[in-house]
Amino acid sequence: MKIQEPSLLVRIPKLYRQGMSSQELYDATRGVWKLGRRREGAQLAFAVESGIVREVYEIDRWHPAGSTSYVSRKAEDVALPGRWEFTGRVAASEIRERYVGESVAHYFKPGARAPVLYVNL
């Protein structure tokens, strides 16, 4: 599977759990990340756990970490200086059908530890 859009692959192994709500998954994926200006070109953010796409979000806007409200995360856990969070929504069904449940493990080099990977940016 090849990602076609400018995207971020966001690994969330510490925050992910089976049966989490869609709001919890969104909150885990959207922040808080140490990112450069390239983030501005990303259209999609992929929630990735164990190399599998769990959800895809369309990015509307970037904000300094902790400046927007979270439903399932504490303010003190997300208000980190020099980091970023996005607001957005679940991607359109045609995008979700293409990616959710698919492996993106091949995008990550062995031993890579960064939680966010830029694709097509």
Q: Do residues 64 and 73 make contact, with C-beta atoms less than 8 angstroms apart? A: no
What pLDDT, on the 0 to 100 scale, is given for residue 67?
Answer: 86
Q: Do residues 72 and 21 make contact, with C-beta atoms less than 8 angstroms apart? A: yes
Instruction: Return d(Cα 121, Cα 119) in angstroms, integer.
Output: 5
pTM listed for this prediction: 0.92
- Joined tokens for residue 41: 């070109």
Over residues 79-108, the pLDDT tens digits come to: 778 899 999 999 999 999 999 999 999 999
Q: Do residues 89 and 60 make contact, with C-beta atoms less than 8 angstroms apart? A: yes
What pLDDT, on the 0 to 100 scale, is given for residue 114?
Answer: 87
- 45 phi and psi angles, rounded to 5 deg: -125, 125
Question: How high does pLDDT run on average in the chain?
Answer: 92
* Domain boundaries defined on the chain: 7-119
Determine the residue type at 93. S
Output 78 or 60, whichever has higher pLDDT.
Answer: 60
